[in-house]
Structure 1
Amino acid sequence: MNNGKYIAGIDIGTRMTKCAIIDTQTGTIVSRATILTKHNLALASENVLNEACKNISITPSNVFYVASTGYGRYQAPMRQIQITDITCHAMGAKFLFPKTINILDVGAQNAKAIRIDENGRVMKFKMNDKCASGAGSFLERVAKGLELQLDEIGSLSLHSKDPQPISSICAVLAESEVINLVTSGYPVEDILMGTHHSISDRIVALLRQVGIDGEITLTGGITRNAGMVKALETKLGIKLNVNENSEYAGAIGACVLANKRLKKIAYERLHIN
């Protein structure tokens, strides 16, 4: 078996592709990278791996094992293994926050609520992917209706004093509703925070289906949206586990699971021989 040092996890999502690299000798995350997925998933996986390697002055040839996850996991040509995103987000959340019991993974096209045991094993999960409700695409539509960039809306919403709820669960219809609120004279920050509250209602309802118990870790690109994090924390009445690595949880989980697999193979070979 290759005695290399680095393992990479690549999470190919509908909007963003992320990569994390771990040093197997220390068990630490040594690099991360994220790029737009666009239309070529294989190219996205190659480019994001190159970026992550460049960050630590190595090349992909120095990475001896690659695990892929996400909706495009079968499109990564350099992968040795592909793992479902639910399993990876569960393990990634457990790695980042060891006391995690519940995980909320909110991406571009769907939202997932996951419940795990003390070992990070998935016990139950629920997913919502209808009309991209409760997901990043919903916010993207709202941002478009307000002529804002997606990265702007989180910080803007924090200035809200009177959130205006969005009743539509369909992303396309929500955009029209937002335009109507703007023409009625409501402040942009109130429309944005109202949107965040409306989405959080649906996400928390999803979480309740798997059972809320213990620490909750938020993963996915939504973790960069401070307004969405605040809305969820307000709805749940607790502080969520979020840090700078949270959006990379899927890629990190792929790394961790790949490392566990390699250790198991090495152990079995040692005892067979």
Structure 2
Amino acid sequence: MYTVGIDVGSAAIKIVAFDGNDYKYTIEPTGWSPKSKGAEVYSRFLSDNKISSGHIKKVVATGYGGRRLDFIDEYKSEITCHGRGCHVLDPSIKGVIDIGGQDSKAMLLNGSGKVLDFTLNDKCAAGTGRFLQVTVNALGLDMDQIDALANNSKPLEIDNMCAVFAETEVLNLIVQGAKQGDILAGLLKSIALRIGSLAGKVDIEGEVAFCGGVAQSKVLTQMVEQYCNLKINKLENPQITGALGAAVIGF
């Protein structure tokens, strides 16, 4: 028997099927309609993994679009699910930094993966995955090119953390002849400093988990350690922690 966790984020849909010991997962872009795309990805995931509805005892959703799905049994908050998912992947973790498409979170955990304290970024896109995506697109690049160009580059100062104004600033730097790698490194540094500010609000210290799509950036991970005095424990599949936590909670 399985429980299924589905995390419908603004950028990606993550689905995990958990059998009590191991898990299967998929990640797909959310697209313009979280509800219809969520149902489509869920159906395809079950088919691809040969999981029948009779072998699913519960479906637990999380994420900004999770409540809109009409096939779920329960909804849990992103904070709760990310905390539990990170604990499952690494029980030694006491702090979590999560950068999602539309918000960023810092969480303090106890030894069981329960969230003791947390904080969110403000309502703007500053320091989120969307902030990075908008500014990277302004450079005419794709997200998977970030590390190759930013590695060993000199970070330029990016004064604006607003996604709209930062895009304009990036375009101005391009006109001035700045190197793409230096601009990217500056963007990553600004996000790292933002993470440090969030972590400080909940007294996160020592080893932490870093999750969300941008956690796959080795350069950003290094900058978080460098500028925030945090030790990042690399997680297996950092993008699925919310869906994994939801599945584990429902088991």
- Partner AA of 1:179 in structure 2: L
Q: Flag the structure with more relative contact order, 1 or 2, with Cα contacts below 8 A and sequence separation at least 6.
A: 2
What TM-score, normalized by structure 2, do the two folds share? 0.94
Q: Deviations over 1:24-45 (max 9, x none)?
A: 3xx211x111112123222222
Equivalent runs, 1:10-25 vs 2, <5 Å: 10-24=6-20
Aligned to 1:6: 2
Work out whether 1:120 is the aligned partner of 2:113.
Answer: yes
- Among residues 173, 181, 196, which one is paired with 1:189 in the alignment? 181
What is the alpha-carbon distance in structure 2 between the residues aligned to residue 114 and residue 256 of structure 1? 18
Per-residue deviation, 1:202: 1.0
Equivalent runs, 1:239-250 vs 2, <5 Å: 239-250=231-242
What is the alpha-carbon distance in structure 2 between the residues aligned to residue 52 and residue 234 of structure 1? 39
Per-residue deviation, 1:94: 0.6
Q: Match of 2:233, SS?
A: coil
Q: Deviations over 1:101-140 (max 9, x none)?
A: 1100101111000101111111111100332001011111
Q: Which 5+ residue runs of structure 1 have no aligned equivalent?
A: 260-273
Q: Deviations over 1:69-116 (max 9, x none)?
A: 011121121111100000000000111110111100101111000101
Equivalent runs, 1:55-134 vs 2, <5 Å: 55-134=48-127
- 8 A Cα contact 1:204 1:236, kept in partner: yes
- Among residues 174, 189, 201, which one is paired with 2:193 in the alignment? 201
What is the alpha-carbon distance in structure 1 between the residues aligned to residue 145 and residue 44 of structure 2? 25
Change over 3 Å in CA distance of 1:181–1:22 after alignment to 2: same
Aligned to 1:143: 136
Runs of 4+ residues deviating >6 angstroms: none
Work out whether 1:231 is the aligned partner of 2:227.
Answer: no
When the two chains are superposed, the root-mean-square deviation of aligned CA atoms in Å is 1.6
Per-residue deviation, 1:238: 4.3
Q: Deviations over 1:191-231 (max 9, x none)?
A: 10111001110111011000023420011111222222222
- 8 A Cα contact 1:11 1:18, kept in partner: yes
Equivalenced residue count is 251
Q: Match of 2:140, SS?
A: coil
Aligned to 1:169: 161
Q: Deviations over 1:231-257 (max 9, x none)?
A: 212223444122332110000000111
Q: Which 5+ residue runs of structure 2 have no aligned equivalent?
A: none
Q: Match of 2:234, SS?
A: coil
Per-residue deviation, 1:52: 3.0
Work out whether 1:212 is the aligned partner of 2:208.
Answer: no
- Among residues 9, 23, 28, which one is paired with 2:22 in the alignment? 28
Per-residue deviation, 1:56: 2.5
Change over 3 Å in CA distance of 1:159–1:214 after alignment to 2: closer
What is the alpha-carbon distance in structure 2 between the residues aligned to residue 218 and residue 48 of structure 1? 25
Per-residue deviation, 1:14: 1.1
What TM-score, normalized by structure 1, do the two folds share? 0.87
Aligned to 1:262: none
- 8 A Cα contact 1:33 1:51, kept in partner: no
